[in-house]
Amino acid sequence: MRIGATTAREIINETCIAIWEVLSPIYLMTNPTPEKWRNISEKFEELWNYPNVCGSVDGKHIRIQQPYHGGSAYYNYKNYNSIVLQAVVDAEGNFLFVDVGEAGRHSDGGVFATSNFGKNFIEQTLNLPKPRKIDPAKEIEFPYVFLADSAYSLNKNMMKPFARSSLTSDKKKIYNYRHSRARRIVECAFGMMSKKFHILQRSMLVHPDFATIITLACCVLHNMIRKKEGIINDVHSEMINVEECDVSREPTRARASRNAYQVRENFVDYFVSPIGSVSWQEYMARL
C-alpha cells in the first residue's frame, strides 16, 4: 500500500521529534558547569591556540520554500527564504547549544539575543569559570570567552575581530588571524553536517516548523556520528573549504563597554608575546 504524502510527512516529523527528544540530552550540553567549560577551553587552546575559549558562535541559514502568506519575513540578505540555525560549537566541531526557527530576515546578532543560549549569556547564567592568568609574567586575569564574527556585539565574554577600518597595526592583524583560526570551527561544523545530511543543501519544501525539527534532528545526529566516528582530520579537511570571512555580512554597530575592548586588547598583547605567539602567525596574517 502506498503511503500518502501527508502520512509520510507525519511519520518523518514524529521521527525527527523522537530523535531530538531522546538524543539531545545525551549529545548536547546540559547543565553547564565551570569544569565542563574548562575542558572545552583546554581543547581550543590545544587545537587552535586560543586560550579560555568556551565555544564558537555563528548562525546558518537553512533554505526553505517561501511559506504561504509568509511575505518577506523569511527572506534573508542572501536573497532566499530561510530559517536560522544559531549554534555554539566546541573545538572539535560538536554542537553544544542550538536554537532553530527564527525567520531568515533577522540578523545573527538579533537571533542570538532572543535565543535560549543568548538569554543565558546575557543574564550570565552559563556558569563560566572565573577569570585566570594565562601569562605567568603578567598579573592580568583573562575571562572565559566565546568567539564570534563581526555580526555580533563585542562583550567581555564575547570576542569579535577588529573591523577592517581598524586594522591600524600589525598586532591587530595578527589578532584577527588568530581569532579567525579558532572561530571557523563553527563553520566547519555546519559544513560537515551539510555533507552528512543532503537535505540541508537544498530548499526544504515544507513549513518552517517542520524544517525546524528536521534541522534539530540533523544537529543531534551530527554530534552522535562525530562522537562515534569523528576524527580531527575531518575538521582539517573541512577547514580548507571555509572562507576566512564573509564580507557580505553587515557588522553590528552596537557600542561595547570599555571592559570588553580592554579584554580584546589583552588578547592582542598576549598573541604577540613570547608565550602566546605561534611561529607562523605573521606569515598567515600576511605581514
Angle between helices 170-183 and 34-48 (to 10 degrees): 120
Grid coordinates standing for 10?
507525519
According to DSSP H, which parts of the chain are helical?
Answer: 5-27, 34-48, 108-114, 116-122, 170-183, 185-196, 208-229, 232-239, 258-271, 281-284
Look-up: residue for cell 565555544?
55
* Dihedral Cα 150, 173, 179, 262, nearest 10 deg: -80
Residues in Cβ contact with 163 at an 8 Å cutoff, skipping those fewer than 6 apart: 150, 251
d(CA 110, CA 103): 11
pLDDT in tens, the chain (287 residues): 345 556 888 888 899 999 999 999 999 999 999 999 999 999 999 999 999 999 999 999 999 999 887 778 899 999 999 999 999 999 999 999 999 999 999 888 889 999 999 999 999 999 999 999 999 989 999 999 999 999 999 999 999 999 988 898 999 999 999 999 999 999 999 999 999 999 999 999 999 999 999 999 999 999 999 998 877 777 877 877 775 544 445 566 667 789 999 999 999 999 999 999 999 999 999 87
pLDDT value of position 246: 43
pTM, two decimal places: 0.91
- Secondary structure of 84-120 in the HEC alphabet? EEEEEECCCCCEEEEEEEEECCCCHHHHHHHCHHHHH
pLDDT value of position 247: 40
